[in-house]
Chains A and B, each alone.
Chain A
Amino acid sequence: MGLSYRGRARALLEEAGAEDYDLLEMRTGSRKLSGILMPRPEILDDEHVVIKLDNGYNMGVAVAKISGVRVLRKGGAAPERRPPAPSAPRGGLPKVSILATGGTIASRVEYSTGAVRPTESPEELLDLIPEMGEAADVSYKSIMAVFSEDISPEDWVEIARAAASELNSGASGVVVAHGTDTMHYTAAALSFLLQNLTKPVILVGAQRSIDRPSTDAVLNLSSAVRMAAYGPAAEVMIVMHGSTSDDFAFAIRGVKARKMHTSRRDAFLPVNEPPIAVISSGGDIEITGRIRRRRGSGKVDVDPRIEPRVALIYAWPSITGDYLRAVSSSGYEGVVIAGTGLGHVPNRIISEIGELVDSGIPVVISSQCLFGRVNLRVYSTGRRLLAAGAIPAGDMLPEVATVKLMVGLGRGYRGDELREFMTSNIAGEISESIPPNSFPPCYRPGAI
């Protein structure tokens, strides 16, 4: 066991031969304190030593006040967790593969940083959420352990391959446990990368880590496993809380989902369409949207071609043409602009957009409104953008348009071919029609 302290605190503790989790006795003035030495998060200063008293409380003791440290008992190894109970496979249940990639859903408190960190033993989830094992013959694989903010297009391909492999080896569905921050990017990517999808692929996450009693992972994971095992949709979906209550989860089409709140359980909303399904806490599945149905057989493939060098930028009132030029000179092969309103940018940068297009860097226009379609024919600014060669994203979310442009460029599409790809519906990302019940009022009298 090492010592997580630095600076002055480290010097003091090292001299006493102390390591994290040792039982120490410290003298401060006339007072004698004993407690277990707790690791100190790196972000905090080196002026304090943190001990856990036998009443369970942690407290920080100022290094300047400590006149002596003595190790009473060595702590030994880091706290061990209970070994997970081996899950006995149930006969006759559909097989569901859970692929863990990291994120809050597979995270716990790590004491060396004091922060939430990916866990190395995702089996703990099965022990905590027996509902999963009751619903399906669940297998578990940890394919990576990264926070979703660190997930890259290369990782999308790896996840897609792992999912396809599970589906092709008899799984009824795949559940990908994923951090929530960029879950909607990964969901969009899987929607385009997976070819001939015959079964459900579900991304699931948690806004409250599993070491908290109020974790949302219980409802999210059990609903995801249900949907993977029994849901009729051969779609890439995100399954997360449908409200602040633990009553039901939404299954949202991967190309129509967006994280719309930093911390709420029901942060993910479907944009421009209702959710695909509502899954009750009891496990009932009600289909509420258009779906491609499960198909009996056929191999699921992965088209791994993807061009990561696509920029997603915002249009804002003081944006300049120089900014756009900087983007192209940074080596990006394509640009998605989240424009204002119907898909506008300040008129003064339209000439630079034209230059980008002429130099072979496609520019796709989506809207930072998120809800609704872009329409470049209503106002003159839009018409100028069309004339400059910009590609309208329809009602695609900016993030989805970005992923799709990566895929299009990765497949080698350019010019009209790329325009055709971007404006055609491939995986449900462009709506034929936007129903009136697809916009969320934030104020709903009598409900949260």
Chain B
Amino acid sequence: MVDVPRVRVGLEIHQRLATHKLFCNCPSELREDEPDYWARRRLRVSYSELGSIDPAARFESLRNRTFTYGAYSDATCEVELDESPPLPMNLEALEIALEVSLMLGMDPVDEVHTMRKIVIDGSNTTGFQRTALVAMGGEVKTSSGTVRLKTLCLEEESAYIISTAPEGATYRLDRLGIPLIELATEADITSPSQARETALTLGRVLRATGKVQRGIGTIRQDLNVSIEGGARQEIKGVQELALIPKIVEREAVRQATLLELRDRIRETVGEVRVSEPRDVTSALLGSKSRLIRRALSNGERIFGVRVDGLAGFLGVEIQPGRRFGTELSGYAKVFGGVGGIIHSDELPGYGISEDEVRALREALGADRSDAFILVLAEEAAASTALEAVSERLIQAGLGVPEETRRALPDGNTEFMRPLPGPARMYPETDVFPVKTGPLIERILRKGLPEMPDATIDRLQREYGLTREHAEMLLDEGRVGLFERVAAASGNLSPRYVAAILTSEMRALKREGVDVEGIGEESLSEIVSLVDSGILPKEGVRDALTEVAERGPAALEDLRRRKPPSESEIRDIVRKLIRDNAELVSRRGERAFSPLMGEAMRILRGRAPGSLVSGILKEELRRALRGTPRG
């Protein structure tokens, strides 16, 4: 593989909004339970506005797929099922989108026109996604330069995919139609770390509105990555910010390696020549390979193509642990719906012997300098798969093809589908355009939300918080809560309140406590119990854990629990000293630390540590006076 080349990256952020759905009044809530109803549909390619059939759309329609949609009688309606025209656009969602546009210095359009973007992978019951351009322009500053913003669109979230197979896919409709802001930058980002910083900054602005959904899956990034001489790749579905630099880096490496491969192909064979597919089943009829035997017993046959003069090229590693053959395999899977390919650079292998490889070469008219590719499938699927593989091979001699790719958890990417052409938009005639003027006036009258940088500065200045705590409050959406709670807690320092809401929560999360389940009300209640002296600081962690486990009901018990009186504490301490007489007599005053820990464990944080330690010291001294040292 090659060194990491210079990249150009554009970012597309998708953020779900915390308001009802974009074109109906259903709630924007995800469900875990079984849908109540199922509907089965097919999609058929349609004519585009400018008269040509879109290649990406056509490609999906070539596969005669059935889509199954699960609907909920209490949370989805006829609109998600494509049984009713959309209702007018959700103006609350549009207002949030406009607010974000203005915060980012973007230029809102005067009239928002909803479009239909053709998507016929089944993820929208209509076969299109409704999307509208809200604003253009603007920029965002990063530590390594300015990144220009391109567009902000308001669109419908797709349906949640439950399963997919070549013959169809199954979706749930709870997610379909949730309003989504799509914020795209120009390809001004020039390093993997700048990509991450840009994503973080834009994410903070979105969250600063206080009107976006939070939690896993509610924000995701797509990356457009290209290198000099390479081609634009749309990498979909990056949910972890931390993974962004790695994905960018590995994509740059992949493109550079593909360019190198192109040059070597040109030197070796000039242009790529792939033979017509041939049935080579007879060459492997007696094979001991389990893979081959299973395919044959399933009634599948073996088809192959010869790739002239490119022996050794298919095994080239293009990303760590990913070979060029794997790319080809992706095309075979997606277009032909087959399980994958076998190529000559991995043979002998899969239980296919040296002799059988020779027989295959003979059947395909391939000599040792040629590569070949096999597909095990029925004839129609195999020929579609091999045709797609051939086209990809021919492209390898020309450069890097534009693709839509899926981010993998290890930072690599895999082929999803060709990059769709631009002619995918039709006007959504069922939705009237919306003028933005009145909404913008309203937003400006109310005033824009504070920008994230200003919030971080202010939290440090006004409350004396550390930058780290200020950022954590911001990123976790707890600034409002913090300010409310800090104002109400006269006896506690703002720093202490911030620590509970940030580092304390993170520490518990690391210990595996489900802190997501602790609501704002509970958090604010716990702080107020500390503030009023009912709950000692030492008991905060236990209290949080209990609320996470048992819900707000645990707070009731805390409120009822009176702190133990001084004499009760003294009784506990005395008993402790008696029970540990041996330790006390052996270690003298140095027995304080272990006994203190034990006392606090028994009291479970119900008493302030300062009180307990005072009593323990007194009682320890008293005990030592009466006990001669041994």
Binding site for B on A (CB under 8 A): 31, 38, 44, 48, 50, 52-62, 65, 79-82, 108-109, 111, 114-116, 124, 128-129, 208, 210-215, 218-219, 243-247, 262-265, 281, 446-448
Contacts and interface: CB of A to CB of B under 8 A. Distances in A.
B113 interface: yes
A446 B429 CA distance: 34
Contacts of B117: 56
Contact of B51 (A55, A79, A265): A79
Interface string B468-499: 00000000000000000000000000000000
Interface stretch (B41-49, B305-313, B398-406, B541-549): B41-49
Contacts of B71: 448
B137 A31 contact: yes
A214 B429 contact: no
Contacts of A58: 113, 115, 133, 425, 427
Interface string B6-45: 0000000000000000000000000000001101111111
Nearest first, the 10 closest Cβ-Cβ pairs linking A and B are A213-B127, A60-B111, A56-B425, A57-B133, A62-B110, A58-B113, A245-B40, A213-B43, A59-B109, A264-B83
A393 to B, nearest CB: 31
A202 B484 CA distance: 69
Interface in B103-124: 107, 109-113, 115-118, 120
A57 B85 contact: no
B47 A81 contact: yes
A161 B66 CA distance: 40
A123 to B, nearest CB: 12
Contacts of B39: 243-245, 448
B616 to A, nearest CB: 66
Given A213-B128, A214-B125, A245-B41, A81 B51 contact: yes
B429 A212 contact: no
Provide the main secondary structure of the chain B interface: loop
A448 B37 contact: yes
Contacts of B113: 50, 57-60
Contacts of B133: 53, 55, 57-59
A179 to B, nearest CB: 16
B36 to A, nearest CB: 8
Contacts of B242: none
B81 interface: yes
Nearest to B423: A56
Greatest chain B CB density within 10 A among A38, A61, A114, A219 is at: A114
B422 interface: yes
A63 to B, nearest CB: 9
Nearest to B85: A263
A116 B46 contact: no
A246 to B, nearest CB: 5
Greatest chain B CB density within 10 A among A65, A214, A264, A446 is at: A214
B153 interface: yes
Contacts of B84: 262-264
A207 B76 CA distance: 20
A181 B57 CA distance: 31
Given A79-B50, A212-B46, A263-B84, A56 B424 contact: yes
Contacts of B422: 54-56
Contacts of A214: 41, 43, 82, 125-127
A212 B112 contact: no
B26 to A, nearest CB: 16
Contacts of A79: 49-51
Given A210-B46, A213-B43, A109 B426 contact: yes
Interface in B71-93: 71, 78, 81-85
Contacts of B426: 109, 211
Interface of B: 36-37, 39-47, 49-53, 57, 61, 66, 71, 78, 81-85, 107, 109-113, 115-118, 120, 125-128, 131-133, 137, 151, 153, 422-427, 429, 432-433, 435, 437
Contacts of A210: 46
Nearest to B420: A56
B110 A213 contact: no
Nearest to A127: B47
A446 B35 CA distance: 10
Given A56-B422, A244-B81, A263-B83, A61 B128 contact: no
B22 to A, nearest CB: 16
B111 A114 contact: no
A51 to B, nearest CB: 10
A172 B40 CA distance: 31
Contacts of A208: 82
A55 B110 contact: no
Contact of A59 (B47, B85, B111): B111
B110 A60 contact: yes
Given A55-B422, A81-B51, 10 more contacts: A44-B432, A48-B111, A55-B151, A57-B153, A109-B49, A128-B46, A211-B46, A245-B39, A245-B40, A263-B83
8 contacts: A54-B422, A60-B113, A61-B111, A80-B51, A82-B53, A128-B44, A247-B40, A281-B42
Greatest chain B CB density within 10 A among A55, A80, A111 is at: A55
Contacts of A246: 40-42, 66
A214 B122 CA distance: 10
A261 to B, nearest CB: 8
A50 B53 CA distance: 24
A233 B423 CA distance: 45
Contacts of A81: 47, 51
A82 B435 CA distance: 35
A177 B36 CA distance: 35
Nearest to B119: A213
Given A31-B107, A114-B427, A263-B83, A57 B115 contact: yes
A58 B132 CA distance: 8
B44 A218 contact: yes
A111 to B, nearest CB: 8
Contacts of A80: 51
Contacts of A211: 46-47, 426
A125 to B, nearest CB: 11
A213 B153 contact: no
B429 A114 contact: yes
B110 A48 contact: yes
Nearest to A43: B432
A65 B44 contact: no
Greatest chain B CB density within 10 A among A65, A211, A244 is at: A244
Nearest to B137: A31
A61 B50 contact: no
B295 to A, nearest CB: 28
A243 B125 CA distance: 15
Contact of B433 (A60, A244, A265, A448): A60
A65 B435 CA distance: 14
A424 B537 CA distance: 90
A246 B66 CA distance: 9
Nearest to B84: A263
A48 B45 CA distance: 32
A103 B127 CA distance: 21
A31 B120 CA distance: 35
B425 A213 contact: no
Nearest to A66: B110
Nearest to A52: B425
A213 B46 contact: yes
B291 to A, nearest CB: 33
